[in-house]
Amino acid sequence: MIIIHSPPQLSAAQPPHQPKTSSLVYNPIKPTHFTGLKSPSFSSFNTPKKKKQVNIQETITIYPSKTPFTDDHVLPLSHLDTDRNLHVTFRYLRVYLNSDAQQQPKKADSDPFHVITTALSAALVHYYQFTGSLSRREPDGRLELHCQVGRGVPVIRASVDFPLSEADYLDDDPDESFVEALVPDPNPDEVISHPMTLQVTAFKCGGFVLGAAIHHSLCDGLGATQFFNHMAELARGASEIRVEPVWDRVNLLGPRNPPRVEFPVQEFLSLDRDFPPYSEKTGRVVREFFNVKDEWLDRLKAILLEQTGSKFTTFEALGAFIWRARVKASGIPSDEKVKFAYAINVRKLVKPPLPAGYWGNGCVPMYVQAKAGDLVDQPIYKTAELINKSKYNVSDEYVRSFIDFQELHYHEGITAGAKVSGFTDWRHLGHSTVDFGWGGPVTVFPLSRNLLGSVEPCFFLPYSSANEGKKDGFKLSVYLQEHAVSGFREDMDKLKNLEPGFL
């Protein structure tokens, strides 16, 4: 159980239009009001070993250190930004140690909250769009960004009265409710009004957790990491960021004139106003963690190589294994279609490539589909081949056709449908480069449940570097229907001692 103390009501130190207002208390949104985006049926199998308490001290608004614009204006988003699958908040955290040995050079200011909020204030001069608010435009209902003078970003200050080591650096099977309290959880109305909210939680050891809640229409994981890297540069003493951010969403990723769909994206997408993304009824869903050792993966890929003569990546081989195990354990009727969904970065695939500073959504969803019965019955290598071949569909034309399909059919309700399994690999996204002066994060952890149209996503995650040398391989975070957990665990246990016949 988490006990959250409400912050005291503090008075505003300066009026909103003043740039130096990092200490201004933000009253309209209080931390204890961030209750949205959690399904009432969502829970965890993990039973907390002891009560852990997060103390919320205050919520303040951070404004740009210099006025980035003088007139209110509206910015359109790209058709990738306004994809209905991205009308969600993505929430994640970074865990930082704070020791003298890590500070290179040693920081004069050792208060992480002050360092981060000061850097945020400077970064918002370049990324002022994070201070805006989202609204649906007429007549098509697409999101657009309203930028108004005098707005800022809410930041929550919190503390914990024990060291990070006591929580194992949030690495192995963390306490679900405790982790949730470390990251802002705005409800749908709050996140539309404030597309980004941050939380800095100090631990007794001096380490801290930076939690973020960002509306996905503004950026993807790579775009958010670019922003936090620029924040970190400024925190470490840089006077300017190295790469100026690029906003030009419509010109770079807008529809063609006239729009045309030359790649058959409609094979994977359907039109249904009555089935918006993430509306699938699944019952009780839980999050499970699994450790995956390198030797198990090597054995899996070696068997697939022997069967096919082809080499498969970890994502292809293990993704195929997990997809089959999930569908099998879920008991989906054999004639029902199921989908494997993942995102692919197209920043360098489109023609011309997107500029280096582009921080909007730069990924498109890719889908592999099969009938549930075929997926369960066929050898794993055939599924791995399907995933592998799907990558070759990605081209500039695929991206442009996807965008034009959004232009032509957005009002009809584009959806990937039900029984979608979303997969994403966080092992190589560059999170470790976000260094505010104490070294990069030792743990990065996602809390989002809705991904790529799936309400049961799977994340490939690196182990915490705080436990480096203790473990090999990586860990899986998998959302499953409760009734499927037992059967899924059985198949994951078989991964340890694979026999070719099982595949």
The one catalytic residue in 81, 175, 425, 435 is 435
Record the tokens describing residue 173, joined without a space. Answer: 């099977």
CA gap 89, 191 in Å, rounded: 7
Question: Dihedral of CA 16/226/395/263: which sign?
Answer: negative
Residue with tokens 């665990």: 489
CA gap 273, 231 in Å, rounded: 40
CA gap 150, 455 in Å, rounded: 37
CA gap 172, 461 in Å, rounded: 11
Cα separation values, 385 from 320, 322, 379, 423, Å = 9, 14, 10, 16
End-to-end CA distance of the chain, in Å?
42
CA gap 488, 491 in Å, rounded: 5
CA gap 195, 145 in Å, rounded: 10
216 labelled catalytic: yes
Choose among 493, 475, 438, 439: nearest CA to 171. 475
Record the tokens describing residue 344, joined without a space. Answer: 């692919």
- C-alpha torsion 176→113→230→143, nearest 10: 60
431 labelled catalytic: no
The one catalytic residue in 216, 220, 425, 431 is 216
CA gap 218, 155 in Å, rounded: 18
CB atoms within 10 A of CB 373: 15
Q: Give the contacts of 181 (CB within 8 A, at least 6 positions apart).
A: 2, 4, 54
Query: SS3 sequence, 204-225?
Result: CCCCEEEEEEEECCCCCHHHHH
Choose among 318, 266, 279: nearest CA to 296. 318
Is residue 464 a contact partner of residue 439, using CB atoms and an 8 Å limit?
no
Q: Which residues are catalytically annotated?
A: 216, 435
